[in-house]
């Protein structure tokens, strides 16, 4: 079930990656793309103009003369332009029906933040759903996934907050990279960029419009191996995201909600239509890890991020903080003080690290295994 929305023809539809964007671009060509976008050419128009073109230069026209200024402006914003031929452009995003031809990014390299799971829901959510979204964001990030959401009020913001406590997160904007909406999430967006990335398809200076958000939602789901809808009414934009996810072949999950909850009509409809059920954060993580393994990722224990087979895994999130705090003879209380984490959580993570063969204990004292 998808709410109706009115798209702008310059930004929506289906298109393929033009051949010219599947090879490395020069700085000048990159700047020309930015200038064309800032000049009002959405991805649909760009794709049409670049189709069968020998180079970006051939179609840039007068806008191409602004390429130096366009790149200089991005640098003043602390942002960069990412195109499909770049190594950091996520492989999954190249595969969707209407791949972004140009992304404006602040923060870490996107490819390094994969794999990702999208967590979305209503802006006007219930208190319980908000709390669960934060707990879910924490659990998914701690398992090694990057949490993707839309930096909106409600479920999105809670998912980002939870992820920031444990690992990495990506915020996908429905406006320019320099126009944070809602404004009260400026500080949150800054932390997301510091511990992950903030992404926009719309050029700098462009404010939010109603049709921007469904257009951005295809990117949100496209970055992810799965989508989780925590709570959504029948008219929620989260259902549009779920539709994109299904079209893109992503696994779609919906959280159980009571039949009397008026904010949960959308997720009840999703469950009726066959969405996978989530009952708690632990089950969600278990299912997501299983899905990741099916897609060629493997988990080297709960201490690590998920990585493609053959790549080296690395410790991150609270596991990393706890592992770093383990010395030659360290108590749980010592580690709790050093990491500012509850002793119960420290003990649980130490048990996981011990199963992974990274730490060992003797008489209640912990040390690393060489």
pLDDT the model gives residue 293 = 87
Cα 92 to Cα 247: distance, rounded to the nearest angstrom: 13
Which segments in the chain show pLDDT lower than 50?
1-7, 299-314
CA–CA gap between residue 293 and residue 220 (Å, rounded)? 21
Strands 297-298 and 307-308 turn out to be: antiparallel
**Tens digits of per-residue pLDDT, 170-190?**
999 999 999 999 999 999 999
User: What is the set of domains in the chain, with CATH numbers?
Assistant: 19-107 (no CATH), 115-297 (3.40.50.450), 317-368 (1.10.10.10)
Distance CA 6, CA 14 (A): 15
Contact 45, 10 (CB under 8 A): yes
pLDDT recorded at residue 75: 96
């Amino acid at each position: 079930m998808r709410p109706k929305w009115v798209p702008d023809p310059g930004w929506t539809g289906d298109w393929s990656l033009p051949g010219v964007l599947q090879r490395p671009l020069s700085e000048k060509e990159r700047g020309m793309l930015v200038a064309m976008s800032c000049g009002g050419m959405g991805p649909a128009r760009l794709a049409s103009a670049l189709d069968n073109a020998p180079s970006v230069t051939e179609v840039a026209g007068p806008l191409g003369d602004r390429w130096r200024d366009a790149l200089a402006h991005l640098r003043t914003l602390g942002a960069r332009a990412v195109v499909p031929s770049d190594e950091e452009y996520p492989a999954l995003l190249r595969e969707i029906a209407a791949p972004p031809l140009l992304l404006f990014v602040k923060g870490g390299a996107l490819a390094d933040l994969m794999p990702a799971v999208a967590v979305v829901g209503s802006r006007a959510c219930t208190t319980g759903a908000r709390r669960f979204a934060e707990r879910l964001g924490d659990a998914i990030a701690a398992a090694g996934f990057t949490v993707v959401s839309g930096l909106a009020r409600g479920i999105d913001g809670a998912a980002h907050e939870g992820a920031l406590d444990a690992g990495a997160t990506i915020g996908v904007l429905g406006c320019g990279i320099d126009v944070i909406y809602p404004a009260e999430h400026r500080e949150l967006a800054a932390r997301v960029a510091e511990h992950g990335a903030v992404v926009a398809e719309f050029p700098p200076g462009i404010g939010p419009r109603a049709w921007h958000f469904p257009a951005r939602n295809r990117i949100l789901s496209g970055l992810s191996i799965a989508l989780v809808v925590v709570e959504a009414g029948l008219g929620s934009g989260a259902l549009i995201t779920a539709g994109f996810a299904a079209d893109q072949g992503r696994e779609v999950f919906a959280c159980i909600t009571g039949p009397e909850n008026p904010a949960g009509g959308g997720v009840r409809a999703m469950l009726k239509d066959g969405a996978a059920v989530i009952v708690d954060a632990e089950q969600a993580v278990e299912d997501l890890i299983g899905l990741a393994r099916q897609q060629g990722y493997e988990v080297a224990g709960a201490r690590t991020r998920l990585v493609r087979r053959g790549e080296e895994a690395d410790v991150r999130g609270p596991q990393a903080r706890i592992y770093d705090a383990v010395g030659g003879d360290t108590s749980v209380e010592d580690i709790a003080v050093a990491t500012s984490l509850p002793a119960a959580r420290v003990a649980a993570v130490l048990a996981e690290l011990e199963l992974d063969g990274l730490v060992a204990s003797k008489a209640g004292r912990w040390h690393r295994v060489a």
